[in-house]
Structure 1
């Protein structure tokens, strides 16, 4: 059974990778020169024809990889596509800076970076001098403002748009695309459309893109803020809108990457089960605390940690809220481990083999699963400046997940206990945000990431814990994976 499942997972992984790589067929993808410190990629079809440039910008905590469905679609349609990592994101070694609340602060700096990429792409021999911008979420405002600056845009595609810079006449040829489940952003797109025609409806075009007066708003069905990036409706609308603005007709494919990426991630995670089954079998059952001890160990850290840290201004890592999160995890984990010690749950948890099993868990999560993520989903490889961030987060993530794994008996505890532990920690972060909403607002963005981590890596950690009877091994390994995941994902920021 173990060998059969491993073979099936490997076959599905290979099939998914083959399909995803087919979307690159006929394209040349190489670094874009002339962008300074900004890492940028140039996508162009293997032809000698000149074409308009499309500059693609990702949203907050995103990267070039996340925007690749648009890059591949437009490159296959014959456009010269430049995609890049904003300061503080992905492989970009320069932290974000400035005032994030002011259009003249961080926004202006990101506009300058976008303009630098646009000029470098326009200097390419295949560029025909025309330019369009495409941006998602945070970058929708950046590209709209940049299209009104220098170099100006002949068309704009704003995905999951919010911007106060839109008027009834500017920017020219604006397409606003939102996921149908992004209710507020759909209404914002409709508001912007109705600046040109108060009676306009979603899916309707006002003005004439060929004359520079076009505007359109679309809701891609059955997707949300991230899913919209993989929606074939959103991809086709962007391509067709640029074709209308530039007087072109494209016949390139619209890649269906979302389903194949989902299959690849599921197959990669499923590969963890037969690998866990190959580990040494547990020699004895994991101890579990009594009901009263469990409730105290689960709830006291959740309540005490945010109250204890509320008076302190914790800023020592160059990543938004990562410093607070590292300390929150460390204190939470330390309190939990004290309870585990008092309940006698730490005895026998740290034999020598626990550490090599923990290393195997970390390698699988970071190198195997992370390698897939980096190639097809989002940046997962840190540059040198992120190494201290990962290390700092590990000092908190390892004790936190170590305590969590021991209380859940390495996945052998009843499901209700596991749910209590997960909900208690998320509630603890929510309480921290409530106590300092302005300073810790960005923790709200981290919450879905942690939920996904629990669902995916928590399941894999349970396979290891139940097989080996070593909750500590799963906890230490997953702590390193969590630290890496958060350390490479969230924007680096220099407040000075």
Structure 2
């Protein structure tokens, strides 16, 4: 058997007993988690429609005849999937849950026009919410009682929607012609309650004013959220109790449900702005509040997808370990820059510092998705600087390089990649890349899209996805090559990822007004980097080639970014 044929073999015999045990355990965890997620939908009727361009999902128990309707809206960079815990909880307890994707978000192709805080953007969001509320009031199951539930940005939009006074209409500016106002509820369809989950309010609510402020308003916050946001809700509750804000007690109702003045503040322990959407405390508080307003008795069932999703994805990560041992061997020697600690640190540190400084004065407004243009430039410039540092370091006098110390993977004769004594199979490389991408897409990306948040991009995002893929690929290739090789020190992969995140944070500090929403994805990127680090290490030890993980991880991260932020005009 030739070297090339040995390289492309899948070596099923390489699976040890420990590999089989880990694979079996992982599959059991995945099946348990997935079976609960699928079983939780049993008995529910889900209808997907469009109200204009707005995608809407209507969820209810199959036998529901008449029930209150709850329109559920997500926050900035959210989607219907992110609010599914509330929709499922309410539907399983007899409500009709109506979930929507705001313009620019999820599967909604309409751009989110205007800047943050502009009246044009507020009007577009109000229009979308109003159209869905109007449609919800025509459902055969609608019994005349209506509530809104909004997270973050949608909490403020819902508060504005509840204000039916002429003064609440967004004003047109000199350079912003007036557009038709959002339709208002007719008196028969007045809102009975509003649940605001971690809202950022654009203005103080003050005391309850019928027709001007929401009736029966519940605030839910995570205990780990910024104090400034939480204090807004506390002040709103204090306004109806005629008490100072610091006298307001969580989980105590102030005001009266009878006249609509009831308000309550609930704080969910051990969660932040996104984790609150999966908190059993938050879900139960919303259900109990609506049951009190509508004088109903529910089963009390609460969606627990957070734990079951964690079980599934833990299994998916564990399963990747033994499966990587089935990948073909690509290179006869480990490829990479082969840098020691001092030289690698120098090559990694300068791009982290220079990239935000270089991009600071440059305009970033060439992609349709907010923030994505800056992220693409950050990846590209960072990759270029890393490649430059690699080239400069290689010119410095050092010990004679090994065959693995190449600046990149050039293609050799006979379909082999590499030079010197390293023999690299192009066919094995292609097989390995396709296998890893297929695993990430089917086992990780698809369940995320079904049960966590919008992840599979719609066609209107393909152009941005292509640009982001080029940018992330450039960085992952440079970074993987930088951190691999026989002489690379332990902790190298973690070091470069920490420096990259610090570089993004520095960019936000330098341009807080424009890049503030980068803060939203930095925790998500950190989580992905941890998972990528595990996958990349396992793949590299088996294949000997750093670019397999680079290609797969770049596509996954580009997709995550492309679908996370709204399409902007």
- Global fold match (TM > 0.5): yes
RMSD of aligned C-alpha atoms?
Answer: 1.9
* Number of residue-to-residue matches in the alignment: 492
Counterpart residue number, 2:401 = none
Q: CA deviation at 1:444?
A: 2.2
Q: CA deviation at 1:313?
A: 0.8
- Equivalent residue in structure 2 for 1:177, among 214, 220, 230: 220
Counterpart residue number, 1:29 = 46
Would the aligned equivalents of 2:339 and 2:483 in 1 still touch at CA under 8 Å? no
Query: Which whole-Å deviations, capped at 9, do the CAs of 1:69-116 have from their partners, x for residues lacking one?
Result: 1001111111111001111111111111123223x2312211110111
Counterpart residue number, 2:23 = 6
Q: 5 Å matches for 1:121-270?
A: 121-149=136-164, 150-151=184-185, 152-163=190-201, 164=203, 166-169=205-208, 170-184=213-227, 185-197=229-241, 198=243, 199-270=247-318
Change (3 A) 1:165 1:188: closer
3-state SS of 2:467 partner: helix
Normalised by the length of structure 1, the TM-score is: 0.94
3-state SS of 1:17 partner: helix
3-state SS of 1:125 partner: coil
Q: 5 Å matches for 1:81-480?
A: 81-102=97-118, 104-149=119-164, 150-151=184-185, 152-163=190-201, 164=203, 166-169=205-208, 170-184=213-227, 185-197=229-241, 198=243, 199-281=247-329, 283-287=332-336, 288-342=338-392, 343=394, 344-348=405-409, 350=417, 351=424, 352=426, 353-409=428-484, 413-480=488-555
Q: Distance in 2 between matches of 1:360 and 1:326?
A: 26
Query: Which whole-Å deviations, capped at 9, do the CAs of 1:12-45 have from their partners, x for residues lacking one?
Result: 1111111112221221011145x11000100011
* Unpaired runs of at least 5, structure 2: 1-17, 165-183, 395-404, 411-416, 418-423
3-state SS of 2:104 partner: coil
* Unpaired runs of at least 5, structure 1: none
Normalised by the length of structure 2, the TM-score is: 0.83
Counterpart residue number, 2:9 = none
Would the aligned equivalents of 1:38 and 1:86 in 2 still touch at CA under 8 Å? yes
Query: Which whole-Å deviations, capped at 9, do the CAs of 1:170-213 have from their partners, x for residues lacking one?
Result: 21100001112225133332221111111431111012224322
Change (3 A) 1:366 1:489: farther
Q: Distance in 2 between matches of 1:410 and 1:485?
A: 29
Mean alpha-carbon deviation: is it higher for 217-226 or for 308-317? 308-317
Q: CA deviation at 1:165?
A: 5.0
Q: CA deviation at 1:252?
A: 4.5
Q: Which has the larger radius of gyration?
A: 2
3-state SS of 1:157 partner: strand
Change (3 A) 1:4 1:100: same
Q: Distance in 1 between matches of 2:373 and 2:315?
A: 34
Q: Distance in 2 between matches of 1:381 and 1:324?
A: 22
Change (3 A) 1:410 1:36: farther
Q: CA deviation at 1:240?
A: 1.1
Change (3 A) 1:348 1:100: closer
